[in-house]
Amino acid sequence: MRVTLEEAVALLKKGELVAIPTETVYGLAACLEDVAAIQKIYQVKGRPAQNPLIVHLTELGHYVKTRPPYLQQLVEAFWPGPMTLVLEQSQVPEIARAGLPTAAFRVPNHPLTQQILQQTGPLVMPSANLSGRPSSTLPEHVESDFGPHFPVLEGETTLGLESTVLRFADRWEIIRLGALPPEAFETVLGYVPEVRETKKGESPACPGQLFRHYAPAAQLLPLKDNVSGIVVGFSDRHYNATLYSLGSSQDPEAVAENLYATLRRLDEEGVQQAWIDLNIPQEGLWKTISQRLQKAVFQ
Ligand code: TXA
Ligand code: MG
C-alpha cells in the first residue's frame, strides 16, 4: 500500500513499520527508541535474532562512545551516503544491536529518507526484504515480500546495492562489501581497507554475512560451457540460451542498479533454474557485484 511522506511519519511515530527508499535499497524502518516496533522488524523479515540492525540518523551525536582515528575524515568524505560504520555505542537499545557492544550507523543521502529522519529522529532499517531474499529496489519488491497492504513510501533507489560496512580494528576494514568500493577509501585513509572474511570458528565481524543471502527461490548455478535454458548474464556477451540481462559488462553502475530486480524477475516469471555468469573483474564495484552473485548461487 503506497503511503505519503506524512503518513509514513505518522505510522512510524505510532510504532508501525514502513518501507522507505534510500539511495542504496529500500529500508524497513522502525523508530530507534521503540523496542516493540524493532521486535516486529525481526518477526516480519524472519531475521535471526543475532543479526543486528543499522541505525540511520542525520548525525552521530551522542550515540558514539569512542572515536577511532580517521572517523571524522570518513564522515566528512562519505556522509551523507552509502557508508555504514560499526562503532562502540552508547544508548542504542540492545535489541537493535543484537546485544553487541557496538552498533552500525549510517547517514543516508536520499532526500526522502532525510526528510523522514528529520521528523522521526533516528530509525533502524534493515533492507526491506524477507531474510535471505534479494534486497528491494522497487515498491513492488517490498509488496511481493510483505504483501500488498504493507505501507511503502514510493521513491527511487539509485545505487541498487547496500551500503559498505566498515569497522576499526588497528586499521579500518570492510566487513561487508557495498556500494562504495574498497578503493574509494584510499584517498581518505591512505590505504585501501582490507575486506575481512569471517573464518570458520571465529565470531563473525559482520553477523549478516553468515547467512544465505540475496538469493531468489530459483536455483542459480555457475555458468558452464554449452549450457542451454536460462542464463543471468551480460547484454554484450553471447550465450546460446535465454538471457536475463544484468546490463553491459562495461557498466558496473548499471549492473548494480539492475541486479536485484533481475534476480527477482526469475521468481516472478516462475523460473526454477538458471545459469549465472560469474566471469566478473575483481575490482571496484565489480567486487561487490561478484560477491552478491556468489552468495545468490545455490549452495
Ligand atoms: O544500504 C544499506 O545498508 C541498507 C539501507 C536500508 O540502509 N540496509 C541494510 O541493512 O543493508 P541490513 O540489515 O540488510 O544489513 C546490515 C548489515 C548486516 O549484515 C548486519 O549483520 C551488519 O550490517 N551489522 C549491523 N550492526 C552490526 C554490528 N554492530 N557489528 C557488525 N555488523 C553489524
Ligand atoms: Mg539485508
pLDDT digits (tens, 9 = 90+) for 18-44: 999 999 999 999 999 999 999 999 999
Cα of 242 from ligand 1 centre, angstroms: 34
> How far is residue 164's CA from residue 107's CA, in Å, rounded to a whole number?
12
Is the minimum distance from the CB of 84 to ligand 1 under 6 angstroms? yes
Ion ligand 2 contact residues with beta carbon within 5 A: 127
Is the minimum distance from the CB of 80 to ligand 1 under 6 angstroms? no
pTM of this structure:
0.97
pLDDT one-digit tens code per residue, 194-248? 999 877 677 788 888 877 778 889 999 999 999 999 999 999 999 999 999 999 9
Cα of 243 from ligand 1 centre, angstroms: 32
> How far is residue 55's CA from residue 86's CA, in Å, rounded to a whole number?
10
140-147 mean pLDDT: 98
Q: Which ligand is nearest to the CA of 94?
A: 1
Which of 54, 133, 291 for mutating ligand 1's site (highest number of atoms within 8 Å of CB)? 54
User: What is the pairing mode between strands 2-3 and 152-153?
Assistant: parallel
pLDDT at position 8 is 98
Cα of 22 from ligand 1 centre, angstroms: 14
